[in-house]
């Protein structure tokens, strides 16, 4: 079953002549939905799909098999279709979607320690505010990468709190990789760039942060490296713990379909 089925159903109900369509992929509170117009209250990005393409892209992410519903609503005087139930929506039909399989994360997490909120308070708050990256997520990466050690250097050449590789350091104009403030801000900017690239799918963001964008592209998902699988599992657990420690609702890295 094609992974943009709900949107194709919606298009079938609306006669149009264009060969390319715009679908909006919308994120809200850890859930993802598709819509024929931006959803009020959600963070939405436009995706252009070619009707004549042999294979339509995966707009959902790595959700496995899940069930949802297609809804119709009136918005700004127009009829809109989407997969999130919003006020005034009318449910049209149910659907089941199978998204492409991704490599499973390593089961054993090892010792990851307790969340630490007592270190670099200002630096993390500033970086989160400037980039819009969830501070709990940013701290999870720092915790997994260096345990907040500004002088840490990996055997692969990654340095600082966020363990930035030389290429990333150059991309974000870091003058002093050992500076916690510069490392954290550059790491946040890099995470924001990855979130944009992968449509908010933090499983892929974590994999790319660990193994690189090229590896994720090569394997069309989480690379089958033991280190990367363990890393994804580790930051997933840390993210839930940091959100809880910060008084927020625990949330997994995995996006969930909107209901």
* SS3 readout for 28-66: ECCEEEEECCCCCCCEEEEEEEECCCCCCCCCCCCCCEE
On the 0-12 / 13-18 / 19+ scale of CB atoms within 10 A, 213 is middle
Top-confidence residue, 56 or 61: 61
Rg (CA), the chain: 20
Please report the pLDDT score of residue 250 as a whole number: 78
pLDDT of residue 246: 95
- Which pLDDT band holds residue 238 (cuts at 50, 70, 90)? very high
pTM above 0.75, yes or no: no
For residue 49, pLDDT beyond 90: no
User: Higher confidence at residue 38 or residue 106?
Assistant: 38
Distance in angstroms (rounded) separating the CA atoms of residues 219 and 211: 11
Contacts of 40 (CB under 8 A, 6+ apart): 75, 86
If you average pLDDT over every residue of the chain, what do you get?
Answer: 83
Poorest-pLDDT segment among 7-16, 39-48, 134-143: 7-16
Q: Give residue for tokens 């657990």.
A: 237
Examine the pLDDT at 10 and tell me if it is beyond 70: no
Mean pLDDT of 140-157: 88
pLDDT band at 165; cut points 50, 70, 90: confident
pLDDT higher than threshold 80 for residue 155: no
Catalytic residues: 145
Q: What is the mean pLDDT of residues 135-142?
A: 96
Predicted confidence (pLDDT) at residue 91 exceeds the cutoff of 70: yes
pLDDT above 60: residue 191:
yes
How does residue 107 score in pLDDT terms, banded at 50, 70 and 90? Answer: very low
For residue 57, what pLDDT band results from cuts at 50, 70 and 90? Answer: low
| Distance, C-alpha 166 to centroid of its chain | 24
**Helix (H) or strand (E) run with residue 100 in it:** none
């Amino acid at each position: 079953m094609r992974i943009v089925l709900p949107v194709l159903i919606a298009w079938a109900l609306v006669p149009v002549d264009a060969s390319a369509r715009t679908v909006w992929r919308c994120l809200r509170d850890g859930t993802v939905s598709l819509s024929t117009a931006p959803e009020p209250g959600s963070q939405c990005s436009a995706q252009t799909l070619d009707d004549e393409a042999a294979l339509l892209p995966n707009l959902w992410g790595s959700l496995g098999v899940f069930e949802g519903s297609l809804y119709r609503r009136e918005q700004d005087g127009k009829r809109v279709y989407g997969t999130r139930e919003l006020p005034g929506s009318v449910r049209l039909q149910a659907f089941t979607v199978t998204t492409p399989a991704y490599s499973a994360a390593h089961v054993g997490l090892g010792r990851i320690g307790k969340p630490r909120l007592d270190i670099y308070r200002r630096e993390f708050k500033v970086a989160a505010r400037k980039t819009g990256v969830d501070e709990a997520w940013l701290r999870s990466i720092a915790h997994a990468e260096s345990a907040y050690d500004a002088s840490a250097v990996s055997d692969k050449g990654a340095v600082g709190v966020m363990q930035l590789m030389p290429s990333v350091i150059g991309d974000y104009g870091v003058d002093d990789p050992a500076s916690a403030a510069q490392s954290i801000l550059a790491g946040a900017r890099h995470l924001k760039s990855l979130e944009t690239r992968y449509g908010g799918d933090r499983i892929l963001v974590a994999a790319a942060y660990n193994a690189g964008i090229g590896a994720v592209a090569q394997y069309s998902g989480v690379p089958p490296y033991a280190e990367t699988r363990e890393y994804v599992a580790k930051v997933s657990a840390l993210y839930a713990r940091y959100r809880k420690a910060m008084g927020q609702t625990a949330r997994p890295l995995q996006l969930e379909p909107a209901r």
